[in-house]
Amino acid sequence: PSMEATAPSVGAGANGSLAAAARAQVGPPTNPMATALLTDQYQFSMAYAYWKAGKHADHAVFDLYFRKNPFGGEFTVFAGLEECIKFIANFKFTEDEISFLQSVMPMCEDAFFDYLRGIDCSDVEVYSIPEGSVVFPKVPLMRVEGPVAVVQLLETPFVNLINYASLVTTNAARHRHVAGKSKVLMEFGLRRAQGPDGAISASKYCFMGGFDATSNVLAGHLFGIPLRGTHSHAYVSSYMSLDEIPDRTLRNKDGSKICKDFVSLVKEWLCKIQAADSLRNVFGDTNQSELAAFASYALAFPSSFLALVDTYDVMRSGIPNFCAVALALHDLGYKASGIRLDSGDLAYLSIETRKVFHAIEKEFNIPGFGKMVITASNDLNEETIDALNKQGHEVDAFGIGTYLVTCYSQAALGCVFKLVEINSRPRIKLSEDVAKVCLLFTR
* 282 vs 422 by CB, closer to a copy of itself: 422
Residue 335: CB minimum distance to a copy of itself, A: 14
* 11 vs 198 by CB, closer to a copy of itself: 198
Q: Which residues of 374-405 are buried (b: 16+ CB within 10 A; e: fewer)?
A: bbbbeebbbebbeebeeeebbbbbbbbbebbb
Residue 169: CB minimum distance to a copy of itself, A: 13
* 46 vs 374 by CB, closer to a copy of itself: 46
Helix axes 41-52, 110-118, angle to 10 degrees: 110
Query: Do 262 and 295 contact (CB within 8 A), yes or no?
Result: yes
Residue 85: CB minimum distance to a copy of itself, A: 15
Residue 157: CB minimum distance to a copy of itself, A: 8
Q: How far is CA 441 from the centre of its chain?
A: 35
- The angle subtended at Cα 196 by Cα 190 and Cα 198, nearest 5°, is 75
Q: Which sign does the torsion angle of CA 383, 388, 390, 391 carry?
A: positive
Closest alpha carbon to 356 in 385, 391, 315, 395: 315
Q: Which sign does the torsion angle of CA 258, 264, 270, 271 carry?
A: negative
* 186 vs 270 by CB, closer to a copy of itself: 186
d(CA 125, CA 388): 48
Residue 88: CB minimum distance to a copy of itself, A: 15
Residue 362: CB minimum distance to a copy of itself, A: 27
Q: Is 429 exposed, middle or buried (0-12, 13-18, 19+ CB in 10 A)?
A: exposed
Bridge partners, residue 187, by sequence: 214, 400
Strands 142-147 vs 59-65: parallel, antiparallel or unpaired: antiparallel
* 74 vs 433 by CB, closer to a copy of itself: 433
* 76 vs 296 by CB, closer to a copy of itself: 296
d(CA 313, CA 318): 6
Residue 275: CB minimum distance to a copy of itself, A: 26
* 180 vs 426 by CB, closer to a copy of itself: 426
Residue 301: CB minimum distance to a copy of itself, A: 7
d(CA 366, CA 347): 25
- The angle subtended at Cα 200 by Cα 191 and Cα 84, nearest 5°, is 150
* 6 vs 406 by CB, closer to a copy of itself: 406
Q: Which sign does the torsion angle of CA 235, 241, 243, 248 carry?
A: positive
* 303 vs 391 by CB, closer to a copy of itself: 303
Residue 52: CB minimum distance to a copy of itself, A: 4
Reported as type and span, the H/E element at residue 352 is: helix 346-364
